[in-house]
Structure formats: structure tokens, C-alpha cells
Amino acid sequence: MLSNSLTQRILPRFPKIQYCFAYGSGVKRQVGYDEKAQKNAMIDLIVAVDDATKWHKENLERNPHDYSWMRFLGSKLIGEYQEYAAGVYCNTLIQLDRHTTIKYGVIRMQDLKDDLWHWNHLYVAGRLQKPVETLIQPNDPELIENLAKNFENALHTALLQLPQEFSYFQLFHAIAKISYTGDFRMYFGERKDKIYNIVDAQLEDFLKLYKRQLRALSDCVHVPDLSKTSNAKIQQCKSRETTLKHLQALPERVLDILKMTNGSVEALPDIPKELHTALVNINWENSVGQSMKNIPTAGIFKSIKYAGRKAMKTFSK
């Protein structure tokens, strides 16, 4: 968790931000990171802004050295470049002081809302399916609604892939896995046990996030005790009617892929397999595109350094 003093040092350096959250091992506990490693981990931020070109123009004046050589292209071209792949422009390995390094991704507010609702990219929506630390609270009613819709999307998707009876750990592992299914970085750039490490350390945080959505599905999901996660077993109805209800509630991008390959969601031969394929389709395309896009935004030296850090994660136990 970020201290108030650190938050107050980070946020004022930027132009006006509508919504901001921090994520990753630098702010949320994960198994396999000792206290020292977590303290020295890079702090990952996502900042949502109304007008990307205008925001980059002011940020270039305030923090020109956050940017690579691309700063010489000007804010208009940077804003246009941001729209490619997942719609995020990343500045990485920004050294605030001896002990604090940050990376921040900039996304347009409308692109964020669309991703949360439709899962166009699952790049930022995927991060927001897991516990994060909110630094600037959302005050846009549409954004608040879409954040809740993203949780609903994740819950429907997970339930369709789970058996009739399962544990809290299995549920939240299925949810955390959504944005990593087919993600290029899981092959090069992340620890192989990353999903387990996130859920095992943050089980109670996941429950707080999804408590309301679980209660809303009480007609088809029986949760014995929302205050105990250790040995509790969840049971769900696996009838055709309930399964169809979950399928029809899936985000638009997932439904489009399922219909494209099968004609209708009512005729899916193997729902978990078909969902897995749809998620791979979304995550692979956008994670590869965004990773390639981040090379020029970081610059060659930072890219090599960042890739080295990711390689160490991949091959660590």
C-alpha cells in the first residue's frame, strides 16, 4: 500500500487526472515477494484523462524526460500513437528518488469505459478485475457503473468455467486468470505462478470486490458465508437456463467471438474451451500489440532494462 506522503509526491507532478489507480507487486502483496522486494518494486499506475493530446502537451512541459525520443514528435502525434493496440501510452522506469521508480500508462476516459463494459482489449479492464489501490476516486457516474459491470463480466465468465461446487480460491483464481489467458507476457515477462501468488495473498481483498456481485446472483449461486473464505464451498446451478443467462451476460467482444466461431452461444459444444479460445484471441492480440508499441515509448535503453527485469521474473521460481 502506498503511503500518503508518496501518493502526494506522485500525483501533483501530473496534469489533471480524472481517475488513477496503482497495481502490481509494488502496491499489492503477492506470495513470493519478501518485504524488501516489494518495497523496491516499481510502482505501476494507470491514469485516465479526458483529452490525451491536451494532457500529453502539458505533461511534456512538466515532465519532458519521462518521455523517450518520441517527445520530439509533439503531443498531437503522441496522442494519436496512444490509440493503437490497447489505447494506452506508457512511460516506464521513471526514477523519482533513490528508492522510488514508477511506470504510468495513460488512457482516455472513454477508451477505459469502453474496455470495462465491452472488453475490447481487456488490457486495463483486466487489471481492474483484481484488487488495486485507487489514488484518485472515480466521480463520473458512467465510469462507476462500468467498473461494476467489469466485475459482473468477470464473475459470469468465471462461473461458466467452474464446476458445480468450488472454493473461494478457485473462483478468484478463475477471475484473476481471465486477463492472463493468452497474454504474451505470461510466456516471457511474468512468473509462472503469478496468478496463484496474487490470489493466495489477496483472497480477502477479492472477496470485498466481488461480495455485491455474488449476492446479486444468489438465485443461481449459493454462498454459505461471505465472511469466511478458508473452508467454505460455493455451489452454483448448472442448468441450461442458468448457463444461458451467464452466456448472454458476457461482454460484447467475447460474445462476438463466440458467435463468429459457433453461430450462436446456445450451440457451444464445450463452453470452458470456447471461452478460453475467446480470451486468448483478445489477450494475445492486444498484449503483443501493446508490448511492441511500448518499445519506442520507453526508448531502447529503458526497453532493454525493462525486458531484463521481466526475464528475471519469467525464470524465477
Strand partners, 107: 48, 88
| pLDDT level of residue 308 (50, 70, 90 thresholds) | low
Q: Mean pLDDT of all residues in the chain? A: 89
- Least confidently predicted of 23-37, 70-84, 110-124, 210-224: 23-37
pLDDT of residue 8: 87
Q: For residue 38, is pLDDT > 90?
A: no
Q: Is the pLDDT of residue 315 over 60?
A: no
- The confidence score (pLDDT) of residue 33 equals 62
Q: What is the pLDDT of residue 294?
A: 87
d(CA 170, CA 163): 10
Tell me the mean pLDDT in the region 252-279. Answer: 92
Residue 271 pLDDT? 94
Residue 77: pLDDT band with limits 50, 70, 90: very high
Strands 101-108 and 43-49: parallel
CA nearest neighbour of 140 among 49, 7, 23: 49
**pLDDT tens digits along 127-150:** 999 999 999 999 999 999 999 999
Q: Which domain holds residue 173?
A: 4-315
Spell out the residues 6+ positions from residue 288 whose beta carbon is closer than 8 angstroms to its own. 184
Percent of residues, the chain, with pLDDT higher than 70: 88
CA dihedral of residues 23, 28, 29, 34 (deg, nearest 10)? 70
pLDDT band at 235 (very low <50, low <70, confident <90, very high): very high
pLDDT digits (tens, 9 = 90+) for 244-261: 999 999 999 999 999 988
Higher-pLDDT residue of 1 and 229 is 1
217: pLDDT strictly greater than 70: yes
Band (182; pLDDT cuts 50, 70, 90): confident
Among 87, 132, 115, which Cα is nearest to 252's?
Answer: 115
Burial class for 240, CB neighbours closer than 10 Å (0-12, 13-18, 19+): exposed
Average pLDDT over residues 90-98: 90
Could you count the other beta carbons within 10 Å of the beta carbon of residue 137? 9
| CB-CB neighbours of 158 under 10 Å | 23
- The count of domains in the chain is 1
